[in-house]
Amino acid sequence: MSDAYDQLIERVREIGRMEAIEALLDWDQETCMPPRGVDARAETTAMVAAMKHERRTSPEIGELLDQAGDGGEPERAANLRETRRLHERAVKVPTELVRDIAHTSALAKDAWVKARADADFSAFAPHLSRLLDLKRQQAECIGYETELYDALLDEFEPGARTAEIAAVFAALRERLTPLVRELAEAPTQPDFSILQRDYPQAGQEQMARRFSIEMGFDSEAGRLDVSVHPFCTSMSPGDVRITTRYDEHYLPAAVFGVMHESGHALYEQGLQHEHRFTPMGTSISLGIHESQSRMWENLVGRSRPFWERHYAWAQEVFPEALSGVDLDAFHAAINTVKPSLIRVEADEVTYNLHIVVRFELERDLLNRRLEVADVPAAWNRKMAELVGATPSNDREGCLQDIHWSMGVFGYFPTYALGNLYAAQFFAAARRAIPDLDDRIRAGDLGTLLEWLRANIHRHGMRYRPDELCRQVTGQPLAIEPFMDYVNAKFRPIYGLA
Amino acid sequence: MSDAYDQLIERVREIGRMEAIEALLDWDQETCMPPRGVDARAETTAMVAAMKHERRTSPEIGELLDQAGDGGEPERAANLRETRRLHERAVKVPTELVRDIAHTSALAKDAWVKARADADFSAFAPHLSRLLDLKRQQAECIGYETELYDALLDEFEPGARTAEIAAVFAALRERLTPLVRELAEAPTQPDFSILQRDYPQAGQEQMARRFSIEMGFDSEAGRLDVSVHPFCTSMSPGDVRITTRYDEHYLPAAVFGVMHESGHALYEQGLQHEHRFTPMGTSISLGIHESQSRMWENLVGRSRPFWERHYAWAQEVFPEALSGVDLDAFHAAINTVKPSLIRVEADEVTYNLHIVVRFELERDLLNRRLEVADVPAAWNRKMAELVGATPSNDREGCLQDIHWSMGVFGYFPTYALGNLYAAQFFAAARRAIPDLDDRIRAGDLGTLLEWLRANIHRHGMRYRPDELCRQVTGQPLAIEPFMDYVNAKFRPIYGLA
């Protein structure tokens, strides 16, 4: 029995190493690869993806899973459970359909780039229709309890159910929409323009690196580079790479961007080396991953204690921009809440509403309750209703995100789950570390990191996301910790009771 | 028939893409990878090597080769010939032996690093003995006509024979040894110390990049980075990467290093894109590859016409080091000939003698005419005799090169072949472009590159190295062009008739 398990794990590690190769191919393409390398790289990447799918679905893995059985001590049980889940998901989908989706997505991504540049949804619509057809087929192959969307969501947030998410989002929507309106009409309004002054890149780099290191990012086990779209990727817990971009007239992009990606990176660096390339050495879900990035970016990085420690130094780094700005004004500026059109630039309060818009639309699309041709109108209507901002064209509306063009449906909710988990985990951390604010004020971020390591990072995929949440916080996922957090933080900034 | 060929080529391309992955894994490890990534990277690299060997030796390739037959139009014939050669070489060697060599080499490389640091050959000797045993076994598996060494040499210089190389090297040795002595005793001696003044790194970078671009290096299809050991690697003709290192007190390392690696890169960038990942899109041999790097580094880069164009600018870039130095003195300094101990720092005239030392020793080791324990004494004796310099310890003697510790025997001769081919090709280029010197003096390096592209680069593996040499120069490989070149260049510099 043990023999079958060991053999299985060796096969699983091979798949994990292929994923590390994919990560390197992608990282290199975004940061280093010369432009003319693109054709050969596309071929190479496609080959690795095909090899990975072949391994994942190999009858040998099925047989070894049968022989190894279930259960055993927790780490073994987790490796078996997750390997079985991925194998069963993969074998249900015919290779022909996998190839179709890959091919259609490649064309769709291309069409999306053009359609977006032209702000013309109609040029992208036929691609979206084809992708939706294929994804519906995929979901039917995989199977689901209640609705199609479950099967797709499960890829990114194992075990999550559409109906539960819909309920959470409905509650969020109900609580956030009035808050956004209240903040917009509040007596005190931050001066956001402070952040749009001259911030030389060298200073931003210095600041971003300092915060990242203070968070605990191990630069012997990772690196920071520049790319057009910031991301975090991992080749192993000893090799975790983050990227950022610099805008000399917008401070938050790099500073909070690097804190965000460093949050992801701390999770990856905190996975157990000896479990690398297996589920026990892999992050649990996108929602939990996003909870780490958002916690460091927002609950730490945009907190008052954090800037009480760093603001005097920030003024030294950017004397021209900040010498006449006091800490309160700066703290208010980095916490400006404002209905806006672009998700990736949204503040903490409106961000989740952007996600609700996408979730409701993609769910309706898959369930055929919304026609592809009606997407722009539906998008604009929902944006006006939920966020309070109406796009003037499709580029700043329904064409802004790349996800659908890549055939990715069911991913968006994980962003909002990340925000909710972040607040819920942070509240639990605060209970475990009662002087957490004082520690942050004193530059001690290590105590929080240690808590995250012990309670979240080191477990890899040992627990399902909902199990982890109950175990760490004593509760299932809820919106209250998030609502408590935003109310406690933003109402005072805006001069509200 | 055509169907089998097409299927075969698709398999061959997959192996080529795996080689591109290996190239990226190695490049990244040398230039970007954080230190703690090393364990996982070693696993990943080993997995790709094993997968490649598995594909290379797969019965499917054997069957497709049988079905596809031989010959056909030249490109097809070359692809079949080379695919068959590599397949037959690979299947002859048991996987167990491949693994043994890989494992023994990994340990040997480690032992070599330590032994070299301690200048203690005896700590490395047992590893060398084991590797020699394994490589003898490998050579026996592969088979050979005359002697073991043939089988190993063939990996790096397809079709080359030990006896021919021995004859060429004997002739070289006979002609070069007295020349080295004559230059050492010549009336005029260059002032080498000119090159050891202060050369700020920024200026060196500027110079290296300028020369590389002027040579025709396409930076849309490649990049230049820093690494401890300079190298050139290729992911595809559209993605060719070179590295260098900077020494602020030794100008030639970076400037001629980058010209050398750019020479390799021009070859890779000049291969045909549509043949990528197949033999027709692959360089012909290490000897021919080295001819390109050495030609650009030495026959162009250390020539008088090249510096007639660039020297005034060089003086602007390095005013402190060069303002009081005239062109003749600079040109003499970069062409200093001096018996020295370290191969990679050797000048053009003594370099080949360093290679002869290694060739004679490794051939004797494999043929059991030399005992491992006697290597240091034999090395020192040969160095004194051929080069005129005696190491004072094993670090600057028989432990200086990494090759043997990696199980690489039969590689060294390709460095000397490269020098000989470079001179022979350059003489042919000069016949085809009678005003070549004037063009170099005027900054036109494109005419030479075009000639190399048309006559060498674009052919990939269409010809065997000896065929290519005859076709391009009208002659088989010979030492005369090289001897003519060094006599014509160095005698005047040293004030000899």
Tens digits of per-residue pLDDT, A314-367?
999 999 999 999 999 999 999 999 999 999 999 999 999 999 999 999 999 999
What ipTM describes this predicted complex?
A: 0.93
| Ranges in chain B, pLDDT < 50 | 1
A101: nearest Cα among A405, A402, A368: A405
Q: Token digits for B463?
A: 């010809």
Structural domains in chain A (count): 2
In this complex, which of B17, B20, B47 lies closest to A17 when CB atoms are compared? B47
Q: Are residues B353 and B496 in the same domain?
A: yes
Distance between A295 CA and the closest CA of chain B, angstroms: 26
Any CB–CB contact under 8 A between B36 and chain A? yes
Question: Mutual orientation of helices B2-31 and A2-31 as an angle, nearest 10°?
Answer: 80
User: Residue B265 in contact with residue B214, Cβ under 8 Å?
Assistant: no
Q: Is residue B101 part of a domain?
A: no
Range of the domain at B22: 2-92
Distance between A238 CA and the closest CA of chain B, angstroms: 4
The answer for A 201-220 residues in CB contact with B (under 8 A) is 218-220
Q: Are residues B55 and B133 in the same domain?
A: no
* Given the residues A75, A261, A268, A297, the one annotated as active site: A261
User: Residue A117 in contact with residue A190, Cβ under 8 Å?
Assistant: no
Q: Which of A92, A112, A131 is the last residue of a domain?
A: A92
Q: Token digits for A69?
A: 């059985």
User: Residue B375 in contact with residue B433, Cβ under 8 Å?
Assistant: no
Q: Are residues B132 and B80 in the same domain?
A: no
What angle is formed at CA A219 by the lines to CA A216 and CA A220, rounded to 5 degrees?
120
Q: Assign B467 to helix, strand or coil.
A: helix
Helices (H), A339-433: 348-366, 375-382, 413-432
Rounded Cα distance, A264 and A257, in Å: 11
Any CB–CB contact under 8 A between A273 and chain B? yes
Give B363's contacts (C-beta < 8 A, 6+ positions apart): B147, B149, B162, B166
Using an 8 Å CB-CB cutoff, list chain A residues near B44: 17, 20-21, 235
What angle is formed at CA B147 by the lines to CA B145 and CA B149, rounded to 5 degrees?
115
Residue range A407-431, pLDDT digits in tens: 999 999 999 999 999 999 999 999 9
Q: Are residues B161 and B41 in the same domain?
A: no
Q: Are residues A15 and A145 in the same domain?
A: no
Using an 8 Å CB-CB cutoff, list chain B residues near A218: 36
Kindly report the CATH number assigned to the domain that includes residue A185: 1.10.1370.30
Q: Is residue A366 part of a domain?
A: yes
Across the beta sheet with A232-236, what order do the strands follow? A222-226, A239-244, A232-236
Give A401's contacts (C-beta < 8 A, 6+ positions apart): A343, A358, A412
The pTM (predicted TM-score) of the whole model is 0.94
Q: Are residues A291 and A409 in the same domain?
A: yes
Any CB–CB contact under 8 A between B236 and chain A? yes
pLDDT of residue A1: 47
Burial call B239-272: b when 16+ CB within 10 Å, e when fewer: bbbbbbebeeeebbbbbbbbbbbbbbbbbbbbbe
B456 Cα distance to chain centroid: 16
Contact assignment for A40 to B223 by CB distance below 8 Å: no
Q: Is residue A97 part of a domain?
A: no
pLDDT of residue A292: 98
Q: Which amino acid is at A262?
A: S
Using an 8 Å CB-CB cutoff, list chain B residues near A37: 221, 235-236, 238-239
In this complex, which of B39, B48, B239 lies closest to A37 when CB atoms are compared? B239
Q: Are residues A82 and A137 in the same domain?
A: no
User: Residue A422 in contact with residue A467, Cβ under 8 Å?
Assistant: no
Q: Is residue A211 part of a domain?
A: yes
Question: Mutual orientation of helices A375-382 and A121-142 as an angle, nearest 10°?
Answer: 90
Residue B288's alpha-carbon distances to A16, A437, B344, in angstroms, are 38, 66, 19
Q: Are residues A293 and A312 in the same domain?
A: yes
Q: Is residue A98 part of a domain?
A: no
Contact assignment for A236 to B48 by CB distance below 8 Å: no
| Ranges in chain A, pLDDT < 70 | 1-2
Distance between A34 CA and the closest CA of chain B, angstroms: 5
Any CB–CB contact under 8 A between A73 and chain B? no
pLDDT of residue B99: 85
Distance between B266 CA and the closest CA of chain A, angstroms: 14
Any CB–CB contact under 8 A between A42 and chain B? no
Contact assignment for A223 to B34 by CB distance below 8 Å: yes
Contact assignment for B223 to A32 by CB distance below 8 Å: yes
Using an 8 Å CB-CB cutoff, list chain B residues near A25: 21, 24
B135: nearest Cα among B147, B149, B145: B149
Q: Is residue B98 part of a domain?
A: no
Q: Token digits for B422?
A: 């470079």
How many CB pairs (< 8 A) connect A and B? 106
Q: Are residues A263 and A194 in the same domain?
A: yes
Rounded Cα distance, B238 and B261, in Å: 16
Rounded Cα distance, B415 and B291, in Å: 8
Q: Which residue of B has its CA nearest to A26?
A: B24
Greatest distance between any 2 Cα atoms in chain B: 70
Give A57's contacts (C-beta < 8 A, 6+ positions apart): A87, A90, A91, A95
Distance between B242 CA and the closest CA of chain A, angstroms: 12
Rounded Cα distance, B198 and B322, in Å: 10
Question: Mutual orientation of helices B286-294 and B465-473 as an angle, nearest 10°?
Answer: 40
pLDDT of residue B106: 83
Q: Which of A30, A61, A92 is the last residue of a domain?
A: A92
Q: Are residues A36 and A117 in the same domain?
A: no
Q: Which residue of B has its CA nearest to A19?
A: B44
Contact assignment for A17 to B43 by CB distance below 8 Å: yes
Rounded Cα distance, A277 and B493, in Å: 61
Rounded Cα distance, A81 and A260, in Å: 30
User: Residue B195 in contact with residue B251, Cβ under 8 Å?
Assistant: yes
Q: Which residues of B are catalytic?
A: 261
Rounded Cα distance, A40 and A37, in Å: 6
Using an 8 Å CB-CB cutoff, list chain A residues near B223: 32, 34
Q: To which residue do tokens 């990727």 refer?
A: A233
> Choosing among A9, A14, A32, A272, which should be mutated to test the B contact, i.e. which has the most B CBs within 10 A?
A32
Using an 8 Å CB-CB cutoff, list chain A residues near B48: 21
Any CB–CB contact under 8 A between B103 and chain A? no
> How many C-beta atoms lie closer than 10 Å to residue A228's C-beta?
9
Any CB–CB contact under 8 A between B55 and chain A? no
Distance between B180 CA and the closest CA of chain A, angstroms: 44
Q: Assign B57 to helix, strand or coil.
A: coil
Rounded Cα distance, B482 and B487, in Å: 9
Q: Token digits for A228?
A: 């057009």
Q: Are residues B72 and B124 in the same domain?
A: no
User: Residue A123 in contact with residue A114, Cβ under 8 Å?
Assistant: yes
Using an 8 Å CB-CB cutoff, list chain A residues near B236: 37, 39-41
Is A185 a residue of the active site? no
> How many C-beta atoms lie closer than 10 Å to residue A205's C-beta?
17
Residue B320's alpha-carbon distances to B195, B198, B200, B316, B325, in angstroms, are 12, 8, 10, 9, 10
Q: Are residues B129 and B162 in the same domain?
A: yes
Counting beta carbons within 10 angstroms of the beta carbon of residue A255, is it exposed (0 to 12), middle (13 to 18) or buried (19 or more)?
Answer: buried
Distance between B238 CA and the closest CA of chain A, angstroms: 4
B460: nearest Cα among B76, B153, B91: B76
CA atoms within 13 A on the CB side of B28: 32
CA atoms within 13 A on the CB side of B451: 19
Q: Is residue B426 part of a domain?
A: yes
Residue A4, phi then psi, degrees to nearest 5: -60, -40
Any CB–CB contact under 8 A between A10 and chain B? no
Q: Which of B29, B62, B92 is the last residue of a domain?
A: B92
Burial call B371-395: b when 16+ CB within 10 Å, e when fewer: ebeebbebbbebbeebbbbebeebb
Any CB–CB contact under 8 A between B223 and chain A? yes
Counting beta carbons within 10 angstroms of the beta carbon of residue A229, is it exposed (0 to 12), middle (13 to 18) or buried (19 or more)?
Answer: exposed
Using an 8 Å CB-CB cutoff, list chain B residues near A21: 21, 25, 44, 48
